[in-house]
Structure 1
Amino acid sequence: MTEQSGPKDLVRWAQRAEEVGFDFEVCSDHYSPWLVEQGHAPYAWAVLGAVAAVTERVELMTYVTCPTMRYHPAVVAQKAATLQLLADGRFVLGLGSGENLNEHVVGGGWPSVAPRQEMLAEAIGIIRDLHSGELVTHHGTWFDVDSARIWDLPDGGVPLAVAVSGEQSVERFAPLADHLIAVQPESGLIDRWNGTEGASRVGDGARAVGQVPVCWQPNREEGVRIAHEQFRWFGGGWAVNSDLPTPAGFAAASQFVRPEDVADAMACGPDLDAMVEAVSAYWKAGFTDIALVQVGGEAQEQFLEVAAAPLLERLRAAAP
């Protein structure tokens, strides 16, 4: 989570996560933290390039990049291809329609949901075309591309995963993407994806990648305190979170979220079984991959040294 840590720490902990046994690592792509207390927002693509250089085995993924406003899709296509080469084929490009928090910074305003999804669909088409290695000229509704070609391109391009949240977004993007991303363990998303014409089925080619926040601490009260300080922003849900423009807005929106509310929503403290239970909701819903978000930047090292290996062992024993 790039909002919690500086770039050198992120690279160091990504390397250590591979050493303790994680299989893949996802990276948020933000211009701003959700809350001032988080205090960081380094450039995700520079971090990922460094992580690719210091790791050998783990898969890497943006979770997620918005290829429509802060970045032009032609630029995303180029840097994704470069990162895939640096990572020797370990990279998946995770895409989404973005949040106001990160995309308003270039002064382009913040459109409503429908045009954001139209922009994302057009951007995916441009990225796919450029990853073919051909010379691309495109004049669309939202984007223009003039005689562009990706010169350093991995064989087969880069796999694309797309964040979805409801039936309409699943039906629109399942035929365009290789993999599904969602932040709620809803089996209906998987069922709809698998039932959409032109989509690769989850578990048979496609993957469904979820996300579970946890706050491991030796002391539960301290875990709850850190989780409330760092992660109370999630309480409004994505319908609210996608539209707020600044950390000040998230602070105002979350001012009535209590520590006990956060503790009810995520596993906090030393109880690894509670964390396994939280993750199990995703595999029960049909997800194939789950990213654990350890809340609290200063707690990363202790989590990796003390809790990560036994937690992974329990997760792998419990998962089907």
Structure 2
Amino acid sequence: MVEIGYKLACEEHGPQDLVCNARMAEESGFTFAMISDHYHPWTNRQGESPFVWGVLGGISQVTADLQLITGVTCPTMRIHPGIIAQAAATAGTMMPGRFILGLGSGENLNEHIFNSYWPPARVRIEMLEEAVEVIRTLWKGGMQSYYGTFYTLENAQIFTLPEQLPPIYIASEGPISASMAARVGDGFINPGTNAEETLIVFRDSGGADKPAYIEVSVCWAETEEEGQTTAYEQWPIPANTGELNRLLPTPAHYEQLAKMATPEDVAKHVVCGPDAEAHIKKIEEKIRMGFDHVCIHQIGHQQREFMEFYRNEVLPHFQE
């Protein structure tokens, strides 16, 4: 059965709002939520970027059944994978059976801040695979040491481990990372780029029976035109193609890039407006590709109105 989830966009909302939005999402019928893990927003207009692990603690106290997944955390440069192992174990303890650790190779925007060198994609994927090994090593319990190509542990032990360890899902937008995701991950995440191609690689590489998540950006508004304007002003990222969203280092660069796009360019990738059939059609498109979890990212600040719209007009279609 396909599950529909809600995106907690830390780039657009402060910590208190994210906690409230998670509670509303559960009450509205979304079965899971993905929460982004950024140091910077994509643009200064978005204006937020709270520490995700603190926000998760708050969400754990106001939800009961909502599954939470980091969408996604980069455990390779900004934060050592040993710290991510501890943070995820704590989140899993606070949300028994409903926390998933989503991992990816990151963006220069967030990860370069403590490094002078942004590695090429193949190296970043190798770092991610080793980081997963570090995390799983620590989750075995007991005192652990690890000596790898990129990471070292010396006498490290995580004392607070959940009875049920969180699954680890791997994000991918290309064939190399999709193959790695099938090999070392418990599930697959695609942020919306090269979705069908990477899912095929993931399934063919050993991930045939594993969950597959995809993110879909929408902008509910009272009119299609209003939605297009909001999407362009608040979230111009979908108009970017190729490797740009992995390479640019600051929000100012993404603002410069946005000036080269138009609201119509963004709307090619974002469902805008109040037409329920358009939203349903976009979700069904992803289901036909083979995704069994579709996460909806509502752009802008009309979150309550969006949830009422989905609860009444979109979610019942898939529940039936």
- Say whether the 8 Å CA contact 1:224–1:268 is kept in structure 2: yes
Selected match of 2:318 from 296, 312, 315: 315
2:94 is the counterpart of 1:90: no
Selected match of 1:251 from 255, 275, 282: 255
Structure possessing the higher relative contact order (Cα contacts under 8 Å, 6 or more residues apart): 2
Q: CA deviation at 1:40?
A: 0.6
Q: CA deviation at 1:9?
A: 0.6
How well do the aligned residues superpose, as a CA RMSD in angstroms?
Answer: 1.4
The gaps in structure 1 that reach 5 residues or longer are none
Distance change >3 Å, CA 194–CA 49, structure 1 → 2:
same
Selected match of 2:275 from 271, 277, 292: 271
> Structure 2 length normalisation: TM-score?
0.93
Q: Percent identity?
A: 39
Instruction: Identify which range, 211-220 or 302-311, moves more after superposition.
Output: 302-311
Distance 1:200 1:114 in 2: 20
In structure 2, what is the equivalent of residue 155 of structure 1? 163
Q: CA deviation at 1:158?
A: 1.5
Distance change >3 Å, CA 155–CA 238, structure 1 → 2:
farther
In structure 1, what is the equivalent of residue 299 of structure 2? 295
Selected match of 1:219 from 218, 223, 226: 223
Q: CA deviation at 1:195?
A: 2.1
Distance 1:187 1:238 in 2: 16
Instruction: Identify which range, 121-130 or 233-242, moves more after superposition.
Output: 233-242
In structure 2, what is the equivalent of residue 190 of structure 1? 199
In structure 1, what is the equivalent of residue 136 of structure 2? 128
The gaps in structure 2 that reach 5 residues or longer are 1-8
Distance 1:55 1:64 in 2: 20
Q: CA deviation at 1:271?
A: 0.6
2:59 is the counterpart of 1:57: no
Amino acid at match of 1:309: N
Q: CA deviation at 1:108?
A: 4.3
Q: CA deviation at 1:186?
A: 3.3
> Structure 1 length normalisation: TM-score?
0.93
In structure 2, what is the equivalent of residue 233 of structure 1? 237
Alpha-carbon deviations, 1:176-200, whole Å to 9, x = none? 000001123633323322222xx34
Distance 1:19 1:57 in 2: 10
Q: CA deviation at 1:238?
A: 5.2
Distance 2:222 2:15 in 1: 26
Distance 1:232 1:207 in 2: 29
Distance 1:152 1:123 in 2: 20
- Say whether the 8 Å CA contact 1:28–1:63 is kept in structure 2: yes
In structure 1, what is the equivalent of residue 23 of structure 2? 15
Q: CA deviation at 1:221?
A: 1.5
How many pairs does the alignment contain? 311
